[in-house]
Structure 1
Amino acid sequence: MRRHLLTSTTALVLLLGASQAYAGMDEAKTFLDTEINGLSTLDRSAQEAEMQWFVDAAKPFAGMEINVLSEGIPTHTYESTVLTKAFEAITGIKVNHQILGEGEVVQAVQTQMQTNRNLYDAYVNDSDLIGTHSRLQLAVNLTDFMAGEGKDVTLPTLDLKDFIGIKFTTGPDGKLYQLPDQQFANLYWFRKDWFDKPELKEKFKAKYGYDLGVPVNWSAYEDIAEFFSK
């Protein structure tokens, strides 16, 4: 079975480096003008330098076609309708980015792992599956790939510290199997005026043995919920 890449960002980083120069820098500059347009922390010359690297690294891979699957949320719709077209225009690689429901994505991942049939080349899947990927070793080990076999097709300026949540896509073996593509923010709303009341702070510490404050683990969530429910 050909090991599959996980998350569309992974596919974009590695496969951009493994693509062909179909049109080149004119299309890359159009993409920078229309889609990036001041949103990058890199100045224009650095952006164009990275695009030139993609174009040059792509040359040996003419005619490649890649199949990607993700669930239907706005981030992935943008990837499917905008980024895939830009990717093909710049590199000549056609990306078939299919969108299905979350359950169908998980089922496809499981089917591919169980049957050894290559249904898709890359998946955008939840980082909850990181343990499965680490145990079964059926997904690309990105740590070793980028340092070894895939070194020539990995952007030299790629900095993993730029990704939020990288620890959640790293296996127990310390190897990276996914690159974060998008995240759902978890917000904690609370009555700060209650948390600041001296009498409540005193009662909470007397009962639970630590200061009342924003919870740092699930046990604290449970303690706070119990305390304010009575």
Structure 2
Amino acid sequence: MAAGALLGAASLLLAGCTAGSSGPDENAEKPQQLRVLYGDASAGDEAIASLVPGFKEAYGVDLEIDNMPYDALQQKVFSEFASASDYYDIVIVDTPWAPALVQSLEPLGSYLSNDALNKNAPESDLGDFIPKVFYDTAVYKADSPTERFDDAESAPDIGSITDSGFDVFGLPIQANVATMAYRADLFEDPAQQAAFAAEYGRPLAVPTTWEDFADVAEFFTQPDKGLYGTTIMAGVGDWATDDFKTLLASFGGDGTLVNPDGEQTFDTPEGVDALTYYADLAQSGNVPPGSTSADWGTTADSFASGLTAMTWNYSPMALSPTVSDAGGRIGYAPMPGQQAEGPHFGTWMLSINPNSKNKEWAYQAISWMTASEQQTAMTELQMHPSRVSAYESVTSDNPEAAFYETLGDSLAQGVGRARVPNYTEISHEIAVAVNDAATGASTPEEALSSAADRVQSLLGAGN
């Protein structure tokens, strides 16, 4: 969707009244179906589709799910709320959109505290959600959507949330966070281990700091084997902003990029250090050609083909049959840190349309779909849970057990996005700066300074 159109839709939404009603009716008439507006594979569409028969069996209600690719979905969500349409009962919302949408979403506090609507799981078992994920994704002040709940480390509790003037505007599902994948077979190869020890004077190990990461990437760049050390995602897009966010937080900066006062926080000494590291990596020769135009899919393909020894991304990785048949194996680890840890993360949530005629049943649906049992079952189709117990329930026979262990640990350390209504535009300006530095078109200092000026203007326009 064009930036101007999104801003226009956001302005219409923010100009409206806070959504909501006097309270849910636990005796609301059961509908024959609930309509759900949902995303594509990036939101785990196959996993959600697998729940339709179970919900029908449990509640006697059909779930009719409409799936759309990301850009079309974003446009559709904004237009549905701007027109006050009652067609969809449930809408999936991505975190970058939430600050602009929150006044048009049904607040769930009165549903969560209604015993009659939570017979099977009191308060939808809020305390089981990963605290950072829950507060970053779903907890807002409708009249001040840039504010954050003070205690985002404690187990979620609806009383504490509403007593502080906040409310819950959805239930988190499909939690994404940057994780590192690596070729376990290469790291465990005795010949590679001996060569690394001889060159660097220490054992070869999965890197835990960015300094170590650069050394390991340099070591595994072995042209005679057609191998590069790592991937990066320096093409202009949200992926480049996400790379920079992770590094900025690691180098001790504010990985959210914008503070609650509406001030950019990336054109800083820590930001320069982070972008300098990234630009050096991009220009080191230790990443595949074309990395300065790469995105999520490009890096996944590079790793799958055996082109790199390491990568990072937001989903389980795979190796091509050729690489696997030759002994290729994948390991997972948290993203490296430096002064701190702060992998970029963001989560989808299932929200209720306040214009729906079936809000109470929509609440039953999103509670059931995000419950631990359903989330655990959906890991078989690579859904990323948002609950602590779901990660604890993933067994060793799950083919992605190692990924889920790393994913759960990383979500607890993650750093989310800025809470601004025009995050998409702000992210674009930062991605341009990242790309300029990575290609050498600008120095990191110049790139960040230029982006800071543009972002500060956007922050003024967004407020």
Query: TM-score per shorter chain, which class?
Result: 0.5 to 0.7
Instruction: Report the Cα distance in structure 2 between the residues aligned to 1:85 and 1:63, rounded to whole angstroms.
Output: 16
Q: Tell whether the 8 Å contact from 2:34 to 2:64 is kept in structure 1 after alignment.
A: yes
Q: Tell whether the 8 Å contact from 1:70 to 1:99 is kept in structure 2 after alignment.
A: yes
Instruction: Report the Cα distance in structure 1 between the residues aligned to 2:78 and 2:175, rounded to whole angstroms.
Output: 22
Report the AA paired with residue 62 of structure 2: K
Question: In structure 1, what is the equivalent of residue 135 of structure 2?
Answer: 167
Question: 1:191–1:129: structure 2 CA closer, same or farther, 3 Å change rule?
Answer: closer
| CA RMSD, Structure 1 to Structure 2 (Å) | 3.3
SS in 2 for 1:180: strand
SS in 2 for 1:159: helix
One of 78, 86, 89 as aligned partner of 1:110: 78
Q: Tell whether the 8 Å contact from 1:65 to 1:96 is kept in structure 2 after alignment.
A: yes
The answer to which structure has the higher helix fraction is: 1
Question: In structure 2, what is the equivalent of residue 46 of structure 1?
Answer: none
Q: Tell whether the 8 Å contact from 1:67 to 1:96 is kept in structure 2 after alignment.
A: yes
Question: 1:88–1:61: structure 2 CA closer, same or farther, 3 Å change rule?
Answer: farther
One of 197, 212, 233 as aligned partner of 1:193: 212
Q: How does 1:89-100 map to 2 (within 5 A)?
A: 89-100=57-68
Q: Which runs of 5+ in 1 are unaligned?
A: 5-17, 19-58, 197-212
Question: 1:226–1:63: structure 2 CA closer, same or farther, 3 Å change rule?
Answer: closer
Report the AA paired with residue 225 of structure 1: L
Q: After superposition, what is the alpha-carbon deviation per residue over 1:13-37, rounded to whole angstroms, capped at 9, x for unaligned?
A: xxxxx7xxxxxxxxxxxxxxxxxxx
Report the AA paired with residue 107 of structure 1: Q
Q: Tell whether the 8 Å contact from 2:139 to 2:169 is kept in structure 1 after alignment.
A: yes
The Cα shift of 1:161 comes to 2.9
Percent identical among aligned pairs is 15
Q: Which runs of 5+ in 2 are unaligned?
A: 1-18, 21-25, 143-165, 181-206, 216-248, 256-265, 281-442, 444-463
Question: In structure 2, what is the equivalent of residue 71 of structure 1?
Answer: 39
The Cα shift of 1:226 comes to 2.3
Question: 1:158–1:194: structure 2 CA closer, same or farther, 3 Å change rule?
Answer: closer
Question: 1:115–1:214: structure 2 CA closer, same or farther, 3 Å change rule?
Answer: closer
Question: 1:179–1:63: structure 2 CA closer, same or farther, 3 Å change rule?
Answer: closer
Q: Tell whether the 8 Å contact from 1:133 to 1:177 is kept in structure 2 after alignment.
A: no
The Cα shift of 1:121 comes to 0.7
Q: How does 1:29-68 map to 2 (within 5 A)?
A: 61-68=29-36
Q: Tell whether the 8 Å contact from 1:63 to 1:92 is kept in structure 2 after alignment.
A: no
Question: In structure 2, what is the equivalent of residue 141 of structure 1?
Answer: 107
Q: After superposition, what is the alpha-carbon deviation per residue over 1:102-144, rounded to whole angstroms, capped at 9, x for unaligned?
A: 122222221121111213110112022221233x3x2110123
Question: 1:192–1:161: structure 2 CA closer, same or farther, 3 Å change rule?
Answer: farther
What is the count of residue pairs matched by the alignment? 154
SS in 2 for 1:116: coil
Report the AA paired with residue 48 of structure 2: E
Instruction: Report the Cα distance in structure 2 between the residues aligned to 1:70 and 1:63, rounded to whole angstroms.
Output: 20
Question: In structure 1, what is the equivalent of residue 91 of structure 2?
Answer: 123
TM-score, normalised via structure 2 length: 0.29
TM-score, normalised via structure 1 length: 0.55
SS in 1 for 2:88: coil
SS in 2 for 1:141: coil
Question: 1:227–1:167: structure 2 CA closer, same or farther, 3 Å change rule?
Answer: same
**2:251 maps to 1:215:** yes
**2:176 maps to 1:176:** no
Instruction: Report the Cα distance in structure 1 between the residues aligned to 2:54 and 2:277, rounded to whole angstroms.
Output: 54
Question: 1:157–1:171: structure 2 CA closer, same or farther, 3 Å change rule?
Answer: closer
Report the AA paired with residue 111 of structure 2: F
Question: In structure 1, what is the equivalent of residue 275 of structure 2?
Answer: 225
Q: After superposition, what is the alpha-carbon deviation per residue over 1:67-103, rounded to whole angstroms, capped at 9, x for unaligned?
A: 00111117222212x1011100221111101211112
Q: Tell whether the 8 Å contact from 2:111 to 2:117 is kept in structure 1 after alignment.
A: no
Instruction: Report the Cα distance in structure 1 between the residues aligned to 2:98 and 2:110, rounded to whole angstroms.
Output: 16
Q: Tell whether the 8 Å contact from 1:133 to 1:139 is kept in structure 2 after alignment.
A: yes
Report the AA paired with residue 153 of structure 1: L
Report the AA paired with residue 79 of structure 1: I
The Cα shift of 1:158 comes to 2.7
Q: Tell whether the 8 Å contact from 2:38 to 2:92 is kept in structure 1 after alignment.
A: yes
SS in 2 for 1:184: strand
Q: Tell whether the 8 Å contact from 2:40 to 2:70 is kept in structure 1 after alignment.
A: yes
Instruction: Report the Cα distance in structure 1 between the residues aligned to 2:276 and 2:167, rounded to whole angstroms.
Output: 39
Instruction: Report the Cα distance in structure 2 between the residues aligned to 1:152 and 1:108, rounded to whole angstroms.
Output: 33
Q: Tell whether the 8 Å contact from 1:71 to 1:101 is kept in structure 2 after alignment.
A: yes
SS in 1 for 2:65: strand
Q: After superposition, what is the alpha-carbon deviation per residue over 1:170-209, rounded to whole angstroms, capped at 9, x for unaligned?
A: 113521102110122123775443899xxxxxxxxxxxxx
Question: 1:222–1:143: structure 2 CA closer, same or farther, 3 Å change rule?
Answer: farther
Instruction: Report the Cα distance in structure 2 between the residues aligned to 1:68 and 1:192, rounded to whole angstroms.
Output: 46
